[in-house]
Structure formats: C-alpha cells, structure tokens
Amino acid sequence: MENYDMIEGYAKTKRRIVIIGSMSVYENMVNLAAELNALGIRTIVPESENEHVRQMSLPDFEDFKRRVSLAYIKKIRDPMTFCVLAMNLDRHGILNYIGPNTFAEIAVAFAQSKRIYLYQGMPDAYIDELSAWGCVSVNGCLDTIINDYRELCMKEDIQLRLFP
C-alpha cells in the first residue's frame, strides 16, 4: 500500500520509505505513514488482514503469509526504496522490541545497503548487530528521517513557477 501527498517546494521523487513491524503495531505504522505522506514522502506499509484472511483455513493462511512476506521483502530490496523504518514499540516487556520477522526484514535491508531507521531505541538483545549495521534510532522524532530523505531524495525546487 503506497501513498504520498505532493508538497510544494519539493521535487517529485519515486523513492519511498518502507515501514516494517509486527501486525500488533499495524495501526501505528499506518499513522506514521500518514504523517510522512503529509510531508510529501512516499511510504509503503503492509496490507492489512481482512475478513477473508481471517476466515482462511490453516494451509491457506500459511500460504497467504508466505506470499505476503516474500512480496514485502521484494519491496524492501527494490531500488526505489530509500530506507526501512522499523516501528519497534515496547512489546511483551521488552523495550524497543524487534520481533523475528522485523529483524529478518532489517537484515534484508542491510544486505541491500538500505538505510535503516528505528522508531525507538535499540533493543538490548540486538544492539551489537543493529549498531554494526548502522541503524539509526530516532526516538519517536521523525526530523532526522525527514531531513535525510529530503536531502538525498528530493531536490528543492527553488525556481519560481510561471504557472503554479
């Protein structure tokens, strides 16, 4: 699911931020995407599970999960992806929790030389790996990621437009 709004003063770019995280923080991911979209930043969030998915039998459900996971990994690896932003809220008593699926997606992003941002801090369990992979914690403040995106993906359109 890809979205963005046009912002005057910034050039169009097709580069996007892929937001990753577990389904338990799905709405937080959607909200984060909306916040970035409002600034003209393209984002991708996973598709939500609908009624049809909920009613699937176990084999169908596993097949669905497999296809969805592969498709999302492709999006992370896509050259149009500027970075991944992991929504790592506290979960299950672990501060800055990163689940196995999210960690795998971060690893894919690292292998593809993508920038990696963490919405909160680094969880103690993976601090060595995440630090070595150059992950950046934004501690709930999106300024860093917005500035990096604008600087590297959006050239400021300083020329006055004749017909705005």
Partner 1 sequence: MNQTEISIVSPYSRPERLFLHYFDIHFIEEKGASAISSNFLYEMRLATRIAVASAETVFIPAASYFESKLCRQIIGELNELFPLGIIALSGSSPNLDCFVQERLNIGFYRENSIQNNAYHSLFPQNGEEPPYVPRQRSATQDIVNHWNDLVQDNELQLRLRDTAGIPIPNIETRLERVPKELGALAFIPEHVYEILDLAGVEKPLHMRIRSAINEAYFASYTQDLAAGVIVDLRYLSSSFLIPSFGQNISYMKMMGFLRKNNRLKEVENCTPDQLVRFGNDPNWQIALQSAVTYVGQPSTALASIVSHSSAKTFAFSNEGNKEQSMVQKYPLSNDSPVLPEQSSRLNTVLCLTIAAVEFESVRSQLKKAFGNGKIVYLDTTRQFYAIEYSDPNSETIWHLASLSFQGETEAAVGINRFCNFLKPTIVLMVGMCMGMPKKDLSVGTVVIPNEIFVFDHQRLTPNGNQHRPHGNRVDNGLYNLAKLIASESELGFPVVVNKALASASIKIEDVNSALVKQIENSFPDVVAYDMEGWGFYLAGEGRHCLWVKAVADSGEHQSQSALGQIEKNKTQSSATDNAADFAIHLVQNFVSASPASKT
- For 16-38, b/e burial (b = at least 16 CB within 10 A) is bbbbbbbeebbeebbebbeebbe
Separation between Cα atoms, residue 40 and residue 133, nearest integer Å: 28
Instruction: State which of positions 62-101 bind partner 1 (CB under 8 A).
Output: 89-93, 95-97
Piece in contact with partner 1 (CB under 8 A), picked from 20-28, 35-43, 100-108, 148-156: 20-28
Q: Does 51 bind partner 1 (CB under 8 A)?
A: yes
Binding flag, residue 55, partner 1 (CB under 8 A): yes
Residue 122 and residue 101: Cα distance in Å, rounded? 16
- Shortest distance (Å) from residue 139 CB to partner 1: 4
Name 119's Cβ contacts closer than 8 Å, sequence gap at least 6: 32, 85, 86, 87, 88, 89, 138, 140
Q: Which stretch binds partner 1 (CB under 8 A): 9-17, 70-78, 114-122, 152-160?
A: 114-122
CA distance 105 to 84: 9
Cβ proximity to partner 1, 80 vs 121, nearer residue: 121
CB of 51 to partner 1, least distance (A): 7
Q: Which DSSP state fits 47?
A: P
Question: Is 144 one of the binding residues for partner 1 (CB under 8 A)?
Answer: no
Q: To which residue do tokens 């709405």 refer?
A: 27
Smallest separation (angstroms) from partner 1 to the CB of 78? 27
According to the binding rule CB under 8 A, does residue 43 interact with partner 1?
Answer: no
Can you tell me the distance from the alpha carbon of 149 to that of 115, in angstroms, rounded to the nearest whole number?
10
Among 6, 58, 70, 158, binds partner 1 (CB under 8 A): 58
Name the site residues for partner 1 (rule: CB under 8 A): 22-24, 26-28, 30-31, 48-51, 54-58, 61, 89-93, 95-97, 119-121, 137, 139-141
